[in-house]
Amino acid sequence: MDKNRVYIFDTTLRDGEQVPGCQLTTVEKIEVAKELEALGVDVIEAGFPISSPGDFQSVVEISKAVSEPVICALTRANTKDIDAAAEALRFAKRGRIHTGIGASDMHIKYKFNSTRDEILRRGVEAVKYARKFTDDVEFYAEDAGRADNEFLARMIEAVIAAGATVVNIPDTNGYCLPEQYGAKIKYLVDNVSNIDKAIISVHCHNDLGLATANSISGVINGARQVECTINGIGERAGNTSLEEVAMIMKTHHALGYTTGINSKRIYDISNLVSTMMRMPVQPNKAIVGRNAFAHSSGIHQDGILKHRENYEILDPEDLGINPNSIILTARSGRHALKHHLERLGYKIDKINLDEVYQRFLEMADKQKEISDHDLQMLMGDGQDKNYDEKAIKVTLLQVVCGDPLRPMATVKLKINGEEREASAAGNGPVNATINAIHEIIKDDILLDEFSIQSMHGGSEDVSKVNMHVKHAGKSYYGFGTSTDIVNASVHAYVDALNKIY
Ligand SMILES: CC(=O)SCCNC(=O)CCNC(=O)[C@H](O)C(C)(C)COP(=O)(O)OP(=O)(O)OC[C@H]1O[C@@H](n2cnc3c(N)ncnc32)[C@H](O)[C@@H]1OP(=O)(O)O
Ligand SMILES: CC(C)C(=O)C(=O)O
């Protein structure tokens, strides 16, 4: 075994999915799990099977669909959770049960109203019980970040003796400083007599923005598994972000750590997770944010054009990104403008660059960014084209429903610029609306899954609708939001149709 190989344990589908509004259907989770497998993660934490029949089923289906990574299921330290996890993992080629209990005095006193000895005993019993089902048992010492190191070491030694093969030292509340967290891991390495029988795992939260720094500090001090999520999503302020860990290890290769991550897939999976979980990535997010490779001021743009590494420590191609890194704004200079004009095929020797630059600045002062299309307008080419001409748009939605009224809907769609209208009845307003759309589209489309969720709760809330439709053997997803559930539904359906046609 390579002593510097760091295992990547992805918990996007468990800790990431705990985020309000990020819940996925089983079909969606399978799609993410397959992408995680292609990305090269070592472990996929697929869910918490006791928590709901849906989560249980997702662990079952992911275990069937994915074969390379270990599939892990989370439990509390009790037999019914462990039974459910073992049952859900029955199809996994390699299944792991992740059990554990709180380790800080705060949790011991105020969550469990218990004592250190009793909690340690429950942890040990849980590991022993989990070992009846699998040889791969991970133990988490929840809130280890705030736990007393001496007690933590005693607990970790006892659970390893009971059969834990991975010991997870979570900074559950994102409390630690990198030096403190690193020292905690080192303390365990130095004081747990059987620590060489288990892999130390780090699971850090981002409450103070230190999750990645703490994870790396943990690795430097002896941990060899990092628990992380795509885009850093997760409970509260999120978890360590997978892409940050993978790229830190790749960029700082002098540290000597390796992972199995194929970095060229990072950008695509980041987009997939962000779209499916309706969780936009902040533009300045490290590695995958929209601006991570965007240079907007003249001095930087000039530097980048002369030698990319002047202002980029990562190569976007390593992440599967082909960015337009030179963003034209009113802060851009002539080098950047010339670069884009040449890219668009203009012959610079036939242009008065100073004159175009003045007109460019006037335009850029009025709008935030200058697109290729704006540049073409500036150079006097063509009229503003309607790129949305082909899209299907809803131009009218009228619904009648009530009790005892028969639900009826009238829908008008604009397709390829042409308006078409139809009315239909249904067993409810959404069904009537979809039937009316089918009257217009007249194609073989199957609505396979339909879920509706409120963003926050309360009757004034915005509804989010997710749809999964099938057409010609392929799956398409649609998403819509509105304060009106029928409107949100029709937009989700049309969103999926726009992906088909
Ligand atoms: C740090 C983390 O991210 S842990 C993962 C968090 N994820 C989840 O909570 C998954 C979603 N949760 C759920 O579906 C539910 O909370 C369930 C099914 C797990 C439990 O539901 P309920 O049985 O109704 O309990 P509820 O959630 O209200 O309370 C938690 C109970 O588990 C106990 N508990 C919490 N952690 C542990 C643990 N690691 N081991 C043993 N018991 C625990 C609590 O003390 C409490 O028990 P009590 O009723 O004796 O006081
Ligand atoms: C369940 C554990 C690993 C966890 O999520 C945490 O402590 O944050």
- Supply the DSSP string of 73-110, one letter for each residue: EE--SSHHHHHHHHHHTTT-SSEEEEEEEE-SHHHHHH
Q: Give the per-residue pLDDT at 454.
A: 66
Residue 373 marked as a ligand binder: no
What HEC string does 250-265 produce?
HHCHHHCCECCCCHHH
What's the pLDDT band for 346 if we cut at 50, 70, 90? confident
Q: Give the per-residue pLDDT at 388.
A: 45
pTM for the full model? Answer: 0.77
Q: Higher confidence at residue 188 or residue 291?
A: 188
Is any ligand 2 atom within 6 A of the Cβ of residue 104?
A: no
Is any ligand 1 atom within 6 A of the Cβ of residue 235?
A: yes
Q: Give the per-residue pLDDT at 356.
A: 94
CA–centroid distance, 76 to ligand 1, in Å, is 7
> Are the CB atoms for 397 and 436 separated by under 8 Å?
no
> Are the CB atoms for 59 and 40 separated by under 8 Å?
no
For 318-347, what is the mean pLDDT?
Answer: 88
Of the ligands numbered here, which is closest to the C-alpha atom of 79? Answer: 1
H-helix or E-strand containing 445? strand 445-454
Determine if the peptide bond prior to 20 is cis (ω within 30°): no
> Are the CB atoms for 477 and 468 separated by under 8 Å?
yes
Residue 15 marked as a ligand binder: yes
Q: Give the per-residue pLDDT at 461.
A: 63
Pairing of strands 463-471, 43-47: unpaired
CA–centroid distance, 85 to ligand 2, in Å, is 16
Tell me if residue 368 falls in helix, strand or coil.
coil
Checking if the pLDDT of 457 tops 70, the result is no
Q: Give the per-residue pLDDT at 386.
A: 35
Of the ligands numbered here, which is closest to the C-alpha atom of 166? Answer: 2
Q: Which of 48, 118, 169 to mutate to test the pocket of ligand 1 (most atoms within 8 A of CB)?
A: 48
Is any ligand 1 atom within 6 A of the Cβ of residue 114?
A: no
CA 351, 352, 357, 363 torsion-angle sign: negative
Is any ligand 1 atom within 6 A of the Cβ of residue 142?
A: yes
Structure tokens belonging to residue 305: 């054009």
Measured from the Cα of 100, ligand 2's closest atom is: 1
Rg (CA), the chain: 27
CA–centroid distance, 6 to ligand 2, in Å, is 19
Q: Give the per-residue pLDDT at 463.
A: 75
For 177-193, what is the mean pLDDT?
Answer: 98
The Cα-based distances of 226 to 11, 123, 245 in angstroms read: 10, 22, 8
Is any ligand 2 atom within 6 A of the Cβ of residue 295?
A: no
Percent of the chain residues topping a pLDDT of 70: 95
Q: Give the per-residue pLDDT at 473.
A: 81
CA–centroid distance, 74 to ligand 1, in Å, is 11
The Cα-based distances of 170 to 43, 106, 189, 238 in angstroms read: 17, 15, 15, 13
Query: CA geometry: angle at 463 spanning 448 and 32, to 5°?
Result: 50
Tell me if residue 359 falls in helix, strand or coil.
helix
- Digit-coded pLDDT (tens) for 109-148: 999 999 999 999 999 999 999 999 999 999 999 999 999 9
Among the listed residues 29, 106, 101, 25, the one whose alpha carbon sits nearest the alpha carbon of residue 71: 29
Most confident of 290-304, 359-373, 446-460: 290-304
- Residue minimizing CA distance to atom 4 of ligand 2: 172
Residue 291 marked as a ligand binder: no
Q: Give the per-residue pLDDT at 373.
A: 63
For 50-68, what is the mean pLDDT?
Answer: 97
> Are the CB atoms for 136 and 168 separated by under 8 Å?
no
Is any ligand 1 atom within 6 A of the Cβ of residue 78?
A: yes
Residues ≥6 apart with Cβ < 8 Å to 186: 221, 222
Is any ligand 1 atom within 6 A of the Cβ of residue 76?
A: yes
Measured from the Cα of 142, ligand 2's closest atom is: 7
Residues ≥6 apart with Cβ < 8 Å to 274: 231, 280, 281
Structure tokens belonging to residue 263: 């970095």
Most confident of 365-379, 408-422, 463-477: 408-422
Measured from the Cα of 144, ligand 2's closest atom is: 7
> Are the CB atoms for 220 and 187 separated by under 8 Å?
no
Q: Which of 80, 112, 129, 229 to mutate to test the pocket of ligand 1 (most atoms within 8 A of CB)?
A: 112
Is any ligand 1 atom within 6 A of the Cβ of residue 234?
A: no
Residue 239 marked as a ligand binder: yes
Is any ligand 2 atom within 6 A of the Cβ of residue 239?
A: no
Structure tokens belonging to residue 219: 């690795």
Is any ligand 2 atom within 6 A of the Cβ of residue 234?
A: no
Q: Give the per-residue pLDDT at 309.
A: 92
Mean pLDDT of the chain: 92
> Are the CB atoms for 259 and 225 separated by under 8 Å?
no
Measured from the Cα of 11, ligand 2's closest atom is: 5
For 283-310, what is the mean pLDDT?
Answer: 92
